[in-house]
Amino acid sequence: MAVLTSATDSETSDCAHVEVQNTARVHKVWHVALPVEGTVTRVRNAVCQAGAALTVDGDGWNRAIPVGGAARFEDCRALTGSGMGRASGADSPNPV
């Protein structure tokens, strides 16, 4: 399960802090897809690919989440228009 833990939003940029939680009974390798709005300028603590959606995977050190554990990452975007903000539904990213 992925949860948006905090976000900053301004007229020109938007950053989200996302926590991916492992609620399964075994360790999990995580992957999350987020809607894309604006231009991705930075992703921390993860590996990503932007396209129709921003797909995010754990980096080598946080790729597998232990049972009951969590991994965290941040993504920041430059917005292309005033007041665009994060796309609806981005506060509940889609784990794949």
Q: Give me the domains of the chain, ranges plus CATH numbers.
A: 2-81 (2.60.40.290)
Q: Which residues contact 47 (CB under 8 A, 6 or more apart)?
A: 56, 57, 58, 59
Among 23-27, 31-35, 63-67, 84-88, name the one with the lowest average pLDDT.
84-88
H or E stretch covering 43: strand 39-44
The span from the CA of 61 to the CA of 45, in Å, is 9
Residues with Cβ within 8 Å of residue 6, at least 6 apart in sequence: 16, 17
State pTM to two decimals: 0.72
Indicate the residue type of 66: P
Higher-pLDDT residue of 41, 86:
41
State pLDDT tens for residues 41-72: 889 999 988 777 889 999 989 999 999 999 99
Share of the chain above pLDDT 90, in %: 35
Give the CA count within 13 Å in the CB-facing half-sphere of 24.
13
Q: For residues 19 and 62, give the distance between their C-alpha atoms in angstroms, rounded to a whole number.
A: 12
